[in-house]
Amino acid sequence: MELTREEHQELVLMLGSRKEWATYLGLTSEEVTSIWTKFKLQVPIQYVRSLSDKKLMGVVAITRGVKQAAKHLGVSEGFLVNDLRARTKYYTPAPIYWEEDECRAIFEMYRSVRFVARMYGTTESQVRKVVAALGIEVATLIDYSTGDHSNAKGRRAELDFAALRGSKILDDKNLSEGSQAKWDFDDAKYGKVNVKSACRQRYRAKTRVDDPYFWKWSTRGAKECEFFAVLCYDEGMQNLIGYKIISTHDREFKKSETLQIGDLELSAE
């Protein structure tokens, strides 16, 4: 089976060099040159430097910090830290070292406590403590339209889906295109994916069903994507119960639909 460009590049990043990639696949020198040229592959350092600021920061956030991102990208932690610092003078490895101007600049870029926590491989509570210690109110830093308020549930689901899919996420459209994006992710397997979140609800007592709980979700955006990823949480959005990948091909949707526990995948693929 022939590999795609993304699969070849993923192998190069995982193995760390062109030589190791060629050895792993058992390629001749002619095949190495042909494939490398055809797909315009890059060694890890070149690949990282070619990424846009938003794409690189998205990878760091999705992998929950520089340490894991460096492993994922096949570069050293020191190189990645220095590259991030070159892109933004305010990048520091941990929020505990922030000064007030650094803190404000970081939130100007990321807009969300959850995203900042993932970016730095720490917890939301730790970020809030550091911000409070600087005498800054979190509410003055975050974007109410995309951060931790009106759209928090949606972004929470997007980040959880990205964590489930890992390296299969090719692009986080919310980072690369912002609020104008018509779908949420480009995925190696599913293509254009829109992520939906749903909280667990209980049927009325007299409703005859095998399980008393269900998840209701909006089908808005079906025409723009190839698949929906519906992430189903408990009542307080504290815990992810499971998820369902639903194709939009050759199907008519109601304005909203429901799922039950038997419909869900309970772990990552």
- Secondary structure string (H, E, C) spanning 109-177: HHCCHHHHHHHCCCCHHHHHHHHHHCCCCHHHCCCCCCCCCCCHHHHHHHHHHHHHHHHHEEEEHHHHC
214 with 158, same domain: the answer is yes
138 with 204, same domain: the answer is no
pTM of the model as a whole? 0.47
Tell me if 14 is assigned to some domain: yes
Tell me if 187 is assigned to some domain: yes
Terminal Cα-to-Cα distance of the chain (whole angstroms): 21
Can you tell me the mean pLDDT for 212-222? 89
Chain mean pLDDT for the chain: 81
Cβ neighbourhood burial of 117 (10 Å; 0-12, 13-18, 19+):
buried
121 with 171, same domain: the answer is no
Which comes out higher in pLDDT, residue 69 or 187?
Answer: 187
255 with 175, same domain: the answer is yes
Residue span of the structural domain in which 106 resides: 90-143
Structurally, how many domains does the chain consist of? 3
Phi, psi of 47 (to 5 degrees): -60, -45
pLDDT range class, residue 118, cuts 50, 70, 90: confident
Tell me if 181 is assigned to some domain: yes
163 with 230, same domain: the answer is yes
Which comes out higher in pLDDT, residue 154 or 18?
Answer: 18
95 with 156, same domain: the answer is no
222 with 248, same domain: the answer is yes
Tell me if 128 is assigned to some domain: yes
Tell me if 80 is assigned to some domain: no
Model pLDDT for residues 49-60, shown as the tens digit of each residue = 988 877 787 778
The encoded tokens of residue 146 equal: 């995309």
Final residue before a domain boundary, out of 118, 143, 168: 143
133 with 182, same domain: the answer is no
Final residue before a domain boundary, out of 109, 125, 143: 143
119 with 220, same domain: the answer is no
Q: Is the Cβ–Cβ distance between 206 and 227 less than 8 Å? A: no
Tell me if 185 is assigned to some domain: yes
Supply the pLDDT for residue 122: 79
Tell me if 70 is assigned to some domain: no
pLDDT range class, residue 120, cuts 50, 70, 90: confident
Tell me if 204 is assigned to some domain: yes
130 with 157, same domain: the answer is no
164 with 254, same domain: the answer is yes
Supply the pLDDT for residue 110: 67
Question: Which among 116, 111, 168 has a CA at the least distance from the CA of 141?
Answer: 111
35 with 134, same domain: the answer is no
